[in-house]
Amino acid sequence: MKKGSKVKIIGGGLAGSESAYQLAKRGVEVVLVDIKPKAFTPAHHNPNFAELVCSNSLKAKGHATSSGLLKEELLELDSLIIKTAYDTSVAAGGALAVEREAFSQKITDTIKSMPNINIVCEEYKEIDINAPTIIATGPLTTGDLANSLKNLTDGEHLYFFDSAAPIVTAESIDYDNAFWGSRYQKGGDDYLNCPMNKEQYELFWNELVNSACVELKGFEGKEVFEGCMPIEVMAKRGIDTLRFGPLKPVGLKDKDGNRPYAVVQLRAENNEKTLFNLVGFQTNLKFGEQKRVFSLIPALKNAEFVRYGVMHRNTYINAPKCLNKFFQLKKYPNIFIAGQLSGVEGYVESTASGLIAAINMYKYINDQSMTEVPKYSMIGALIDYITTERKDFQPMNANFGIMPPLDTRFKNKQERYEQYSIRALDEIKRYKLSIL
C-alpha cells in the first residue's frame, strides 16, 4: 500500500461505521474519530455508533421499491448496517424498522471487535489533506471542522441549511391539466405550468394555511427561513399573497390562450425530465400534509412524490462541483466525503455512500483503478445524480426517477419497478466481481 495503509474516518454515524467496517475487513488499519461520548451534537443522545436520530425506520423492504432495492444492493455488497438492521428488526409491516438501542449497540460491538480499528474520542477540527481520510460527520458537523471543509470546497460550495422543494415523477403528472411555457414566452418551454381556477385555488389556499407543520428542533431555529420563506407561511399573509408570488399567473397563457387565476410551475430536476420540482414550494409541512394539500393542484391530483419538501439543518457540499463519482474531492484526492455531507439524503443512502467511499479508498491507497458503480443500479444512479452538474443542487434520496429509463415501456408501475430492480441487481453483481 504505497500511500500508507492507515485511513482516518471522521464520524461514527451510519456512513462512518460502514466505511470503517468495509476498510477493516479488507485489512486496512483504521482510525475512527468520533466526538462521542465526551460530547454530543444537539441531535444525539446515544453514546454508541450508528445512532438513529429521527426515526427507527429504514423505509420499505422488497426490491420493487426504491428503498428496498437500495437495501438489496447493499446486502449484496456485505453492508454491516443493513445486515445489522435485519438482525435487530421489529415488526413494521412492509418497512424495515429496528430496535434503536440494540441496533446501535450491535454496530458498536462489531466495530470495537475488529482489531485493526483504533477508536479515538475527540472533536476533529482540521482536515489533514496529506492523510487518506473519509469525512462522514453528518448534518450537524461541528464549527471548526465545517470551516476546514469550507476552505477545501472554496467556501461557497458548503451549505448549512436545506430548503428543498417537493419533487414528483413526470409520469404521474396529469398533462391534460398542464401546459408548457415560460412567462411572456421568454426562454422556451422551460416550465410545466399547472393552472388553477378561482375555486380550485381558494380550496388549495384554505387547506394549505390550516395544515400541520413539522416542529423545528431547537438547534435549527429561525435561520432556516432566512431568504427562503415556507409557502404556508407566505400564504398566511393573505389569500392573494401566493398569486403575487410563486403562483402568479402574469405572463402565462393556458392552452386556450387565457391567463389562469393561479399557476404552480414545475421545473425539470434532471436532463431526462423524469422528475420535476414544485418551484417556490419550500415548506415545513408534514409529509402526509404535503401529499394531501399539493394533490389538490389539478395537474398533481395523482402525483407520485419521490421527495417531500424539507427545511432543516443539513450541512452538505455542492457535490457536482466538489466530488467525483468515487466520493473523492476533486482537488484533494486524499479526502473522501460520505454520508449526508456528500449530498445524499436518508439513512440507507448515507450507508451506501459510506460503503462505496470505503471501497474506493481501499483501491486508492493500493494504487488500483477505482471502478464506477453502474448507473443502472440504484447506488450508481444516486451517485450519478449527486455528481452531475445542475443549476440548483439539493440532496437526493433513492428513487426510481433518477434511474436511466428501461428499453421497454411498462404501463403497470409495479411491473416497471420490478424490471428496474432486476436490471439493477444484475449490475450490482457485476460490480461486485470488479471489486473482489
User: With bands split at pLDDT 50, 70 and 90, how would you rate the model's confidence at 417?
Assistant: very high
**Best CA proximity match to 282, nearest among 311, 316, 249, 314:** 311
Each residue's pLDDT tens digit, 286-338: 999 999 999 999 999 999 999 898 776 678 889 999 999 999 999 999 999 99
Each residue's pLDDT tens digit, 154-201: 866 776 566 678 999 999 999 999 999 887 776 667 789 999 999 999
What per-residue confidence (pLDDT) applies to 226? 46
| pTM as predicted | 0.81
